[in-house]
Amino acid sequence: MSGATVFRLPDLGEGLTEAEIIEWKVSVGDAVAVDQAVVEVETAKAAVEVPSPVAGTVTRLYSEAGAVVDVGAPLLAVDATGDGERERYREEERAGSGNVLVGYGTSTARRSRRAAGRAARAPRPAAGEAPRVISPVVRRLAADNGVDVGAITPSGPGAVVLRRDVEAAIAASRPPEPPGPAGARPDEEGVVRVPLRGVRRAAADKLSRSRREIPDASTWVDVDATALVRLRKDIERADPAARVGMLALFARICVAGLRRFPELNSYVDTRRQEIVQMPRVHLGFAAQTDRGLVVPVVRDAQAMTLAELAAGLRRRADEAREGRAAPEDLTGGTFTLNNYGVFGVDGSTPIINHPEAAMLGVGRIVEKPWAFKGKVRLRKVAQLSLTFDHRVCDGGVAGGFLRFVADCAERPELLVTRL
C-alpha cells in the first residue's frame, strides 16, 4: 500500500463535524473512476454520496457500515492508476476543491451532473417488475427488520419503495410494543437510552446555543382568521392546481411584514458586535420528519408570488420528509415560520432558530365565540406568537410586526393596500 492514496472524510461544511457510514458502494479490489460514488454517508443534514477523487483500485476500507466517522478521518485507500492522479488529488486537496461531499461547496454542480446521469441511466420499472429501493437508508431499514421489499406495495413514483412503506410493513408484522423512542429498546430495568446524534444532535446543539446566546422575548395575540380561511377556499375554487394552504398565506403575510419591519430579518454578528439586516427573505419553516425536526428554507421568498411561494413550501417539505433535501436547503434562513397548529395546540413559545432574530408561531384555527359587528358569533380564531431577539429590536417593533400579521389575517385585503 506504499503507493496508495488515503482519502479522508472531507469538510462537510455548515459546522458539521462527523457523518455515519450508511453503505459502501465499493469493496477492496474494486476499480474506481474519478468522481465515482464510493460511499453513502448520513450527516445531521442529509444523506449524501462521497465521490472518489482519484481513479485506481481500492486497497482498504477504514470503517464498517454504521460507524460514525469524524471529518479528516481516513475513509478508504486507493492505489491510483498513475503518479499524475495522485498529484492531482494532492493539488486539489491543498486548493480545497474536489475533495468535498456531494452537495457541499464546489461539488454542487458535479452532484447535479451525476444525479442527472443516474436518472437518465436508471431503468424504468416494467409491468410486473419487483419494486425498486433507491435509498440505502430504506434498504438498510428493511434488512435490519427482516422485511422483504419484494412483498411491499410501493407508494413512490416509478414503483419506488419509500421509507414509509417499509415502516408500515414493520408495524404490520410486529406485535404491539410499549411506546418508546424510535430505534431504542428498554434494558432489563426498562430504561431507554437513545443516542443523541444525527439530526437530533444537530438540533440539540443549535437550540442550546440559541438559548445561551439570544435574549429572547415573546408576544402573542388572538386573531379572527375567518376571512383568511375564506380566502384560501376562494383561491382553491378558482384554481385548484395552485394548492395554496394556510401556511403559504401566513408565509406571504410574513414576507410583507418583514418589508415593513426589516429589523426582524436580521442576525447579530457577535464577533463584530453588529446587527446585520438582510436584504432578502430566506424563509424557513418547521417540518416534522422521520429524522426529527428540520427547517427547510425557501430562498428569495420576497420575489415570489403566492402560488410560487406555496409551490416552494410544498417542494421543500416533500424533500425534507423523504430525505431528499440538500444540505444547503436546510440552512441559511433569515426568518422562520412555525405552524404548530398542525399538532392541535393553540400556543407556544418556540426557541429561535439560531442565528435568526425572530420566529412566528401559528396555532390551530378553531371556532370560538368572538365579538363581531356588535354581536357574539362563532368565528375561526387562532393564536399568533412572535419570539424575537431583544438585541435587534424592542417591543415596539415586535408588536408592530405581530399586529401587522394579525391585521392581515383578519383583513387579507390589507396585503394589497399596505405593500
Write out the catalytic residue numbers: 390
**Strands 274-277, 266-269: parallel, antiparallel or unpaired by DSSP?**
antiparallel
Query: Quick one: which H or E segment has residue 204?
Result: helix 198-213
Among left, alpha and beta (phi > 0; psi -120 to 50; other), residue 177 is beta
Question: Phi and psi (nearest 5°) for 189?
Answer: -95, 5
Separation CA 219–CA 317 (nearest Å):
27
- State the residue for C-alpha cell 419509500: 162
Separation CA 363–CA 353 (nearest Å):
18
Separation CA 137–CA 119 (nearest Å):
19
Residues 6+ apart with CB under 8 A from 84: none
Tell me the CA end-to-end span of the chain in Å, nearest whole number.
67
Q: By three-state DSSP, how is residue 16 classified?
A: coil
Provide the grid cell at 155: 407508494
For 307-354, give the secondary structure using H, E and C: HHHHHHHHHHHHHHHCCCCCHHHHCCCCEEEECHHHHCCCCCCCCCCC
Number of residues that this document lists for the chain: 419
